[in-house]
Structure 1
Amino acid sequence: MLNPMSVMVLLDAEFRRLVLWVPVLLALGALAYFLWPYEPGLLGGVGVPAGVVGLCLGACFYWRQSLVARLAGGAGMALAVGFGAAWCAAHRQPPMPELPRRGTEISGIVRDVAFFPAPTGQGEPVRRVTLAQVVLHDFVDDGMAPLRRTLAIRLVQNDSALLAPGDGVRVRTMLQPPPFPALPGGRDRQFEAWFSGQAGSGYALEPVQVEPGAQGRVSGFWQGVATVRGRVNARVRAVLPGPSGAVVATLLDGRAEAVPQDVREDFAASGLAHLLAVAGLHLGLVMGAAMLVCRMALAAWEYAALRWPCKALSAFVAWGVGGGYVLLTGAHLPAVRSWLMASVVVLGLMVGRRAVSMRGLALAATLMLLVAPQVVLDVAFQMSMAAVMALVAGYELLQPRLTRGLSGLTGARHGLARHGVMLVLTSLLAGTATLPVVMAHFGVVQPFFVLANLLAVPLMGVWVMPLGLAALVAMPLHAEAPFLYLMDAGVRVVLWLARSVAAWPGASMEVPAMPGWGLAGVLLGLCWLCLWRWRLRWWGMPVVLCATLSPWLVSRPDLLISPDGQLMGVRDHTAILVMGHARDERAIKAAWAQALAIPVTGFSTTAEQAVETPDGSLICGEGDAGGTCTLLRNKHEVVLRVHDPSDGRSLLPPDLCAQADLVVSVAPLRESCPDVAVRLDRFSAWRVGAQAVFLASGVRVVSDRQTRGERLWVLKPGGHGMPTLPLAQAE
């Protein structure tokens, strides 16, 4: 049992590690803002945190002789700063505009052009353009100011227009705002769009028209970067047109859209999906290759080798090459975050400090959380921080044992054994630390990820990425083809490895959705395990294990209703029985299947005779009311109206509602079943979004709006945003 004195002794012994908890507390403060049930005003978002910071500073000064007071004050300040930074980041974003729901002609400036495989898998790839400074040309929005957010438009497949960043275009499109979550607690694309600056998406109804005189005022620097990225992609695809060429292009310019779906699935099932997402691994390989080449070149020059700090210079050159690679691959947040961490590492090398340390990781995480607090909910941020933290802590603990264990070997055997053990240890530590995060965000577990990474990562490091770097250097001379062919040979081996491992039995196992408290428990337990050095660090292990098992510790919904109320899914023993039709039906079904870890199957409701499940719990088509089903579960009766041509004007029979505890309809219920306690219809879905129904002890309904609250990024019912008002007329 710990007493106050022993706690003080332990804290004093860990004094140098206390600073490592600053980013953890910043993240908790930001998380508190994002999970707040309503939007705080200026007083709650800035005034209160500023007051808390002032009080904590005063307490730290007044009780400066007390370690506990200083720790409590510092923790309070970090939490308040995290909350305030998140509020400021959210309120810096422009409002979400109201988009027309009809065919509309728009004009804008091309910011980026991406390629996707054809929907049928054959033919020319489909292009998607990201447009900035968009103007809607219809009678409602006439004279409007250009949108402050971007639109992603999928062009028609046979569109032959040559587009480059900075071009002005005009096209007739169908637009839609970011979709609502498919189920309460599901992926929030509106949150992602709010912080990414996107207004929505759409598809072209006709070929795009290029407006020669409408060059946009997109930043010249970023326009140049986008142009270079497009040229690199085109050069790679011209030499390597197949699936392996799409992977090569992804590694060199960061655009993974053209990678075929079957290749993506193989990489995901084998635990190699991180190879398709340019982030820390790719940046480390590029910087490592650049540093090695630079240091060898300096060592071969006698004057430099004797007089210059070759190691520091090589690290600085590698840092610059890494920054260029981050820009070339799109400056995505995971890559930028990794480059910030690499900057700390390079700075440490240049001043003679240890390259990779917990303090460097804490500094990089703190900078990211202050600049972009929304990364606390980003899967890439969570995975990279968990992996690097586990690697640093693991090597801190195991390095002495590893040195003692290999002390009996000499020469080449020692080097080979050391590199082999470190490779296995790196894959095991990083993979195990990120496993619960993968479970939470993707709903899968890949048991063979260690074996797949043991073979794929070294191949990427010694063959694929160095040749890719050489190809980029040779592109200005139009001499990249030999390097691309050699790079393609290595990529084909990785593709074969991913396909082979994905075909093994049990290579990818689905798991139910992890609750938010489970993911928080995993990450906090991992921080406790890695950031301390004293024995009580091991208290984090049972926390991580229990949180990892949380998907099986919570109840799962018995009935799911789509955001538009047109699709219903009944959870059966082995599948989700889906009835009705919705606009985003495919995406909604995929989200439901991932959340419940069981497949989705259609359930006929239009047969002339009654249809029921084997256990008789769901019966459709019984009685005189057409398009209705009855669900019996846990002594509760639920009436489902999944088809109603009358739009609610044909009332449900009173005898069908007599014993019902809940009635759900794809159409307005109007006067149907007025005495039923819980009534859900199209209008309720319009107001509150997707709904999940639990039938364990009573009828409990959880809605999307109840889960997310009234926040800046949560669109109004029906997906409506702020009207695009016309500019005032000049006098």
Structure 2
Amino acid sequence: MALEPRQTSVGGNIRQAGLRLFAHLEKGLEHEREQLALWVPVAIGIGIVAWFILPNRLEWFGFCCVSLAFASAGLVMPTGGRMQQVFVLGGVLACAGCVLIWGKAATVGMPPLARPVFMEVTGEVKAVNAIPAQQMSRLLLEPIEAPALPRLVRVNIDESGMPRGVGEGAIIRFRVRLMPPAAASLPGGYDFARRAYFQGIGATGRALKPVTVLRPSAKERPLRARLFAHINGRVSGPGAGIAAALATGDQGAIADEDAEAMRNSGLAHLLSISGLHVTALVGAVIFLLMRLMALSRRAALDWPLMLIAAAGGALAGIGYTLLTGAEVPTVRSCVAALLVLGGLALGRDAITLRLVAAGAVIVLMFWPEALVGPSFQMSFAAVVALVALGEHPKFRAFVAGRDEGMSRRLARNVGTMLLTGLAVELVLAPIALLHFHKAGMLGAFANLLAIPLTTFVVMPLEALALLLDIIGAGAPFWWLTGHALDLLLAIAHGVSASPWAVVMTPTMPMGIFGAIIMGGLWCLLWRGQWRWAGMFPVAIGVAAMLMVSPPEILITGDGRHVALRSSSGEMVLLRARAGDYVRDMMAESAGFGGVMGTLADLPEARCSTDLCAVQLQGGGRTWRLLLTRSDVLVDRAIFERDCVQADIVVADRGLPPWCRPRWLKVDRRLLARTGGLAIDLDQGLVRSTKMLGDAHPWVVQPIRSSKPRSNGQL
């Protein structure tokens, strides 16, 4: 019998195992049927992200074909099953997301200026944004009789050179050097060019004096601008900028050091008009309307008080959103508030994950480009974490009201705030590390004090001060508001000063971030036991993030600024005169939290006025680097000899063909194709800012230059 053929074939066993797995998945999806709708914005988001990640039209079209093939595969599954719905709708929605952002980019965006130009510009002012903290104003202009320029241009004007009469509708003339909107200078850096494209801005620059007003503005300043100026004039001290931001969403008057402290302490969300502010306003309006209408016996007995109060709260939320500029977090919060109010008016439980999903779908339909920005990701991630935690039975049992003493009730409330704050911090940490390369670790404790202070002290005092200013009696409340904001800043600076306040990492690869986010969504959106399977990609992603090797060399897209990591772990810059922005950008990209020194001060470096030579250790060997640090021409004999001896040569100009280093030559021509570079010598890897063949419409394609010089000089 041992030699007899088997009674059941291998293929049959595999088929039976597949059928059992399919039945198990069908059973699980049927049990989770109420949660399936939550994955609609996720499927749309996958298509949007694919369009941003993939470089060109052929690959975008390929993704759409694969998505539709995925949906077609669902058509051969048993009819009416949950798996069929997942495959068909998932594939169609992913394709729809890619087509949605592709279509908006093709119809709405503004291609950037092809190359820098210095010219005289005459334009009509479309918007004015004052930035007192930087002593300048930012103008959005529509050029007149300049067909070679983009439709909209953003220009900065120093406060000392800002003439009177400049407002919306004014026509001004000035000289300026216009540049394409700045792309990311380093891998993983902030890409303003992408954001400017969808805002319709095709060029930026700083106007030179004098600025001539050809036609002064005949329009009254917008309410937001007048409110911003009024609050800044009424609040004294550093809290004025925060008071203005709470009311208008404009953070231009907040000092850099205060903004940095708010970010490092995990309180930056208080500066962006989002759920906390909209909820506080809507709740206050509903409370006041209910109390006022209850004073009338007829209204209390005959009128639908909750419906009227909800309508008043909705109008207040919409007005506040429009006043503060309708940014994505504010729009999301307003949409969520409207859905909640609608549910309350209908007598239903409206604070659910379905509400969050509906708000996400609405935002993605109108602003699909917002998905890849930190504002959308952080606001929705925080809300999903809070609602998912609030729906958990054990958490509900913990926060449920009960008969107990004051001390135990206070302790439970404090514990609730700590748990919610910790949940939000854990969810937001990978997003902050991706976009800002650092995340606050003490935000839960800082928010324990800052949120009640802002919600129940600062915002009510500011609202009362604004109301009483109508009769000229708001000064005492502005004084109290200023002192409350001083306390808020003291909390921010105190927490920020702690050595454990911030954790920094070098630029995170997108694959690691995607694994953490998808694993987190799997844990938060499902309700069955299989939700914990999402912890595996989260754990793998976190472990990979902790093991990311920081780059030894960072080179900006123009080649002028180079940062090196020495054998002692210190980061140094090639040029001592690099500004604070460059230093902060390169330190964050490298995950370095100390003070950056200068390359010439390293003992292993040899620097002259024009060149620097340095040796770095990495990958078990010594690397020889040669870097240019001036615009002076170098004799060919000297430079050719040094090029041959170097492994890597970096220059902010085009290098001649006879400069042949052993491993990599980084010059203006290479950087025009790659953008900024991050070089990991331990792994021998080079990461670039630009993708090969990137055809996204905001990417400025490199301009072919003439044949390089090959004479006796560099």
Shorter-chain TM-score above 0.5: yes
Query: What is the rounded CA distance, in whole Å, between the counterparts of 1:55 and 1:507 in structure 2?
Result: 45
Query: What is the rounded CA distance, in whole Å, between the counterparts of 2:665 and 2:426 in structure 1?
Result: 45
Q: 2:74–2:84: 8 Å Cα contact kept in structure 1?
A: yes
Partner of 2:43: 25
Partner of 1:132: 141
Partner of 2:5: none
* 156-165 or 301-310: bigger deviation: 156-165
Q: 2:433–2:508: 8 Å Cα contact kept in structure 1?
A: yes
* 476-485 or 682-691: bigger deviation: 476-485
Write the mapping of 1:197-346 to structure 2, written as runs, cut at 5 A. Answer: 197-212=200-215, 227-346=222-341
- C-alpha RMSD of the superposition: 3.2
- Residue 540 in structure 1 maps to residue 534 in structure 2: yes
1:661 to 635, 647, 652: 647
Partner of 1:113: 129
* Residues 49 and 480 of structure 1, relative CA distance in 2, 3 Å threshold: farther
Query: What is the rounded CA distance, in whole Å, between the counterparts of 1:112 and 1:238 in structure 2?
Result: 18
Q: 2:290–2:305: 8 Å Cα contact kept in structure 1?
A: yes
Query: What is the rounded CA distance, in whole Å, between the counterparts of 1:171 and 1:301 in structure 2?
Result: 61
* Residues 53 and 352 of structure 1, relative CA distance in 2, 3 Å threshold: farther
| Higher RCO structure (Cα 8 Å, ≥6 apart) | 1
Write the mapping of 1:253-652 to structure 2, written as runs, cut at 5 A. Answer: 253-398=248-393, 402=397, 407-409=402-404, 416=410, 419-572=413-566, 573-580=568-575, 586-598=580-592, 599=594, 601-605=596-600, 612-613=602-603, 618-621=604-607, 627-631=612-616, 633=618, 634-643=620-629, 645-647=631-633, 650-652=636-638
Query: What is the rounded CA distance, in whole Å, between the counterparts of 1:304 and 1:75 in structure 2?
Result: 49
Q: How many residues align?
A: 683
Partner of 1:139: none
CA-to-aligned-CA distance 1:698-730 (integer Å, 9 cap, x gap)? x5433222378232111122799xxxxxxxxxx
Partner of 2:4: none
Q: 1:159–1:208: 8 Å Cα contact kept in structure 2?
A: yes
Query: What is the rounded CA distance, in whole Å, between the counterparts of 1:565 and 1:638 in structure 2?
Result: 18
SS in 1 for 2:453: helix
- Residue 104 in structure 1 maps to residue 120 in structure 2: yes
Cα shift at 1:143 = 5.0
Query: What is the rounded CA distance, in whole Å, between the counterparts of 1:21 and 1:654 in structure 2?
Result: 59
**Identity across aligned pairs (percent)?**
27
CA-to-aligned-CA distance 1:401-439 (integer Å, 9 cap, x gap)? 5358764527x6786566444433332322322122222
Query: What is the rounded CA distance, in whole Å, between the counterparts of 1:266 and 1:171 in structure 2?
Result: 37
Query: What is the rounded CA distance, in whole Å, between the counterparts of 2:224 and 2:298 in structure 1?
Result: 38
Q: 1:566–1:581: 8 Å Cα contact kept in structure 2?
A: no
SS in 1 for 2:690: helix
CA-to-aligned-CA distance 1:253-300 (integer Å, 9 cap, x gap)? 111111111211221222111111222221111112112111222222
Partner of 1:714: 699
Q: 2:610–2:631: 8 Å Cα contact kept in structure 1?
A: no
* Residues 500 and 162 of structure 1, relative CA distance in 2, 3 Å threshold: farther
TM-score relative to the length of structure 1: 0.85
Counterpart amino acid of residue 692 in structure 1:
A
Partner of 1:190: 193
Query: What is the rounded CA distance, in whole Å, between the counterparts of 1:649 and 1:179 in structure 2?
Result: 34
- Residue 694 in structure 1 maps to residue 680 in structure 2: yes
Query: What is the rounded CA distance, in whole Å, between the counterparts of 1:707 and 1:306 in structure 2?
Result: 70
Cα shift at 1:638 = 3.1
* Residues 566 and 343 of structure 1, relative CA distance in 2, 3 Å threshold: same
Query: What is the rounded CA distance, in whole Å, between the counterparts of 1:279 and 1:255 in structure 2?
Result: 13
Q: 1:269–1:508: 8 Å Cα contact kept in structure 2?
A: yes
* Residues 311 and 415 of structure 1, relative CA distance in 2, 3 Å threshold: farther
CA-to-aligned-CA distance 1:214-270 (integer Å, 9 cap, x gap)? 76xxxxxxx87x611111122212222421112111111111111111211221222
CA-to-aligned-CA distance 1:439-498 (integer Å, 9 cap, x gap)? 222222323211111111011111211233334444555554344333223222212222
* 99-108 or 342-351: bigger deviation: 99-108
2:84 to 62, 69, 75: 69
* 672-681 or 648-657: bigger deviation: 648-657
Query: What is the rounded CA distance, in whole Å, between the counterparts of 2:111 and 2:335 in structure 1?
Result: 29
* 187-196 or 484-493: bigger deviation: 484-493
Query: What is the rounded CA distance, in whole Å, between the counterparts of 1:322 and 1:626 in structure 2?
Result: 59
Q: 1:663–1:680: 8 Å Cα contact kept in structure 2?
A: yes
TM-score relative to the length of structure 2: 0.87
Cα shift at 1:514 = 2.2
Counterpart amino acid of residue 15 in structure 1:
R
* Residues 512 and 64 of structure 1, relative CA distance in 2, 3 Å threshold: same
SS in 2 for 1:102: strand
Partner of 1:11: 29
SS in 2 for 1:381: helix
Cα shift at 1:165 = 2.6
Counterpart amino acid of residue 579 in structure 1:
L
Counterpart amino acid of residue 716 in structure 1:
Q
Mark the runs of 5 or more structure 2 residues left unpaired by the alignment: 1-16, 706-714
Query: What is the rounded CA distance, in whole Å, between the counterparts of 2:244 and 2:661 in structure 1?
Result: 61
Query: What is the rounded CA distance, in whole Å, between the counterparts of 2:586 and 2:692 in structure 1?
Result: 17
* 297-306 or 476-485: bigger deviation: 476-485
Query: What is the rounded CA distance, in whole Å, between the counterparts of 1:482 and 1:404 in structure 2?
Result: 38
SS in 2 for 1:641: strand
- Residue 152 in structure 1 maps to residue 155 in structure 2: yes
Query: What is the rounded CA distance, in whole Å, between the counterparts of 2:490 and 2:436 in structure 1?
Result: 23
SS in 1 for 2:138: strand
Query: What is the rounded CA distance, in whole Å, between the counterparts of 2:308 and 2:409 in structure 1?
Result: 26
Cα shift at 1:86 = 1.2
Cα shift at 1:15 = 0.9
* Residues 413 and 160 of structure 1, relative CA distance in 2, 3 Å threshold: same
Cα shift at 1:658 = 4.4
Partner of 1:82: 97
Cα shift at 1:72 = 0.7
Q: 1:184–1:702: 8 Å Cα contact kept in structure 2?
A: yes
Query: What is the rounded CA distance, in whole Å, between the counterparts of 1:146 and 1:678 in structure 2?
Result: 37
Cα shift at 1:129 = 2.9
Cα shift at 1:32 = 0.5
